[in-house]
Amino acid sequence: MKILLTSSSKHGSTDEVAAVIAERLQAAQIDVETKRPEDVDTVDDYDAFVLGSAVYMTKWTPEAVDFTKRFHDALKAKPVWAFSVGLSGLPKGKVSDPMRIGPVLLALDPEDHMTFAGRFDPSRLNLRERSIAKLGGASEGDFRDWGEVRQWADAIATSLHDDTLTGGRERP
């Protein structure tokens, strides 16, 4: 079983979440390759996928969306898990609508989608991004729940191991 974990991160927070997910999957004896979505040329060698993106202005990054379009047919044929990282402009890292990137996910029909709170560090943002965040009411801080990230990764590992024992479940 070999899986591809892609991560599209503008300021590093989503990549850090992806690293923890990869670490947990590897600890569960799953072969994981981690790449940025724009660096992937083929997905032929993978049995499953974990796709992650930062969320800006209610959308996944253009690179993550492009990846899902380029490999749509292959992604539909294999198990896919997706995660989003962002604050949604809400105080204390609360997420208002976990399906805000719905069109991308509806096209893939993932096994699961998880929304994780992110990190808001104004020093990492440009003036435009700081202005938007301020208008949206974002609170400064790191709101990522690492226990939640690990738990989700462990659930993926359990599902992948169960599928291996039952002969897999390639989609129709």
Residue 169 domain-assigned?
Answer: no
Task: Report helix, strand or coil for 43.
Answer: coil
- pLDDT value, residue 11: 74
Number of domains in the chain: 1
Residue 52 domain-assigned?
Answer: yes
Task: Output the CA–CA distances (angstroms, integers) from residue 152 to 19, 46, 71, 77, 148, in the order listed.
Answer: 13, 20, 24, 22, 6
Q: What is the CATH number of the domain that holds 83?
A: 3.40.50.360
Measured between alpha carbons, how far apart are the two ends of the chain, in Å?
A: 19
Residue 1 domain-assigned?
Answer: yes
> What domain range includes position 33?
1-164
Residue 127 domain-assigned?
Answer: yes
pTM value? 0.81
Residue 38 domain-assigned?
Answer: yes
Residue 172 domain-assigned?
Answer: no
Q: How many Cβ atoms from other residues are within 10 Å of residue 106's Cβ?
A: 10
- pLDDT value, residue 136: 64
The CA-based angle 96-5-125, given to 5 degrees, is 50
What pLDDT tens digit does each residue of the chain (172 aa) get? 899 999 998 877 899 999 999 999 999 999 999 999 999 999 999 999 999 998 876 778 899 999 999 999 999 999 999 998 876 544 443 444 444 555 667 678 889 988 888 777 767 777 777 676 666 666 677 778 899 999 999 999 999 988 654 445 454 4
Residue 81 domain-assigned?
Answer: yes
Residue 171 domain-assigned?
Answer: no
